[in-house]
């Protein structure tokens, strides 16, 4: 029995690779979270914007929110890891955008039982550069090219090497406190923010516990619901307090390891700095 979505909504998600909008918090709660992000904006960037839930208890709480997890469980099942999280923030009138891509291209994971919960903390509209998707494009992996373009928010500036028909594009407009769910292989991107206010969203990457990392680098994840019957990931630890020294040290090691996977095969440094030595060596083998 579904916890949050109807059977028809679950079927539509599997057919289209996207479901929205889902109200997961009040607009007032979203405003408070957006303000907390703005208050920490000088910190939550670069590598510290990779898995920031390991550094801030209020984000650790967010990835465990049952209003989010109930919907995720409906598409992934009862046993769930949080594999990653990241803010996607665009300043008003800025040039930041994301190219058309599929999330799982460089993640190295064994299965497509992976979903991104994208939670809007400010209005996410066509004008402000909302998520755009092409429904039904999640059935297979397509080639990507690394562009390393400065304004592209993606770590490698990766872009699908196929044309997107403008007539097939859907704008995923969300109000503060609403969420979308999208499949790991769905074509998606976003344009720059032409509005007068920042656009802030928090993307949470959830994976079913049977999924494993296929690269030689063993990964970590946070068990947020159910049980781990497989042991494919080492368990992460919740932060003791905001930017606690122990949490910062753990986070640094975890992100360094993850970048060996994300930058494998990269020809140059990306948004998160030089590829770790192991990643460059792997790409030369």
pLDDT digits over 166-218, tens only?
Answer: 999 999 999 999 999 999 999 999 999 999 999 999 999 999 999 999 999 99
Residue 183: phi, psi to the nearest 5? Answer: -70, 150
116 pLDDT higher than 70: yes
Both tokens of 78, joined, read 């009862």
- How confident is the model at residue 277, as a pLDDT? 54
The DSSP line for the chain is --SSS-HHHHHHHHHHSEEEEEE-S-HHHHHHHHHHHHHTTTTSSGGGGSSGGGT-HHHHHHHT-HHHHHHHHHHH-S-EEEEEEEEEEE-TT---BEEEE-GGGGT-BS-S-EEEEEEESS-B-TTTT-EEE-TT--SS---EEE---TTB-STT-EEESS---GGG-EEE-B-TTEEEEEETT--EEE----SSS-EEEEEEEEEETT--B-SSS--EEEEEES--SS--SEEP---SSTT-HHHHHHHHHHHHHHHHHHTTT-SS-BTTBSPPHHHHHHHH-
pLDDT reported for residue 242: 97
Domain boundaries in the chain?
Answer: 7-284
Separation CA 180–CA 56 (nearest Å)? 23
Residues 122-147 pLDDT 10s:
999 999 999 999 999 999 999 998 88
Q: What pLDDT shows up at residue 276?
A: 52
- Topology annotation, domain 7-284: Jelly Rolls (2.60.120)
Copy the structure tokens of residue 12. Answer: 């539509």
* Cα(282)–Cα(285) distance, integer angstroms: 5
Is the pLDDT at 95 greater than 60, yes or no?
A: yes
Q: Which of 50-54, 192-196, 235-239, 263-267 has the lowest mean pLDDT?
A: 263-267
**pLDDT at position 174:** 99
Comparing 25-29, 170-174, 218-222, 279-283, the range with the smallest average pLDDT is: 279-283
Q: How confident is the model at residue 282 (pLDDT cuts 50, 70, 90)?
A: very low
């Amino acid at each position: 029995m579904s916890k949050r979505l109807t059977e028809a909504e679950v079927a539509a998600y599997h057919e289209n690779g996207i479901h929205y909008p889902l109200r997961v918090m009040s607009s007032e709660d979203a405003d408070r979270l957006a303000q907390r992000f703005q208050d920490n904006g000088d910190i939550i960037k670069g590598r510290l914007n990779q898995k920031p839930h390991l550094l801030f208890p209020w984000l650790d709480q967010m990835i465990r929110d049952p209003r989010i997890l109930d919907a995720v469980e409906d598409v992934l099942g009862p046993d769930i890891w949080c594999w990653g999280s990241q803010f996607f923030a665009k300043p008003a009138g800025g040039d930041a955008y994301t190219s058309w891509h599929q999330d799982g291209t460089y993640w190295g994971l064994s299965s497509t039982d992976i979903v991104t919960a994208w939670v809007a903390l400010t209005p996410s509209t066509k004008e402000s550069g909302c998520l755009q998707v092409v429904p039904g494009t999640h059935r297979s992996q397509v080639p990507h090219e690394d562009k390393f373009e400065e304004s592209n928010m993606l770590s490698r500036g990766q872009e699908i090497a196929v044309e997107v028909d403008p007539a097939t594009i859907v704008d995923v407009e969300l109000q503060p406190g609403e969420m979308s769910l999208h499949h790991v292989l769905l074509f998606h991107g976003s344009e720059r923010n032409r509005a007068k206010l920042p656009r802030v969203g928090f993307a949470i990457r959830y994976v079913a516990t049977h999924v494993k990392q296929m690269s030689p680098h063993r990964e970590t994840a946070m068990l947020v619901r159910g049980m781990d019957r497989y042991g494919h990931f080492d368990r992460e630890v919740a932060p003791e307090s905001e930017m606690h020294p122990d949490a910062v040290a753990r986070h640094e090691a975890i992100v360094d390891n993850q970048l060996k996977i994300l930058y494998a095969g990269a020809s140059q440094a990306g948004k998160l700095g030089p590829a770790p030595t192991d990643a460059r060596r792997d790409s030369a083998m």
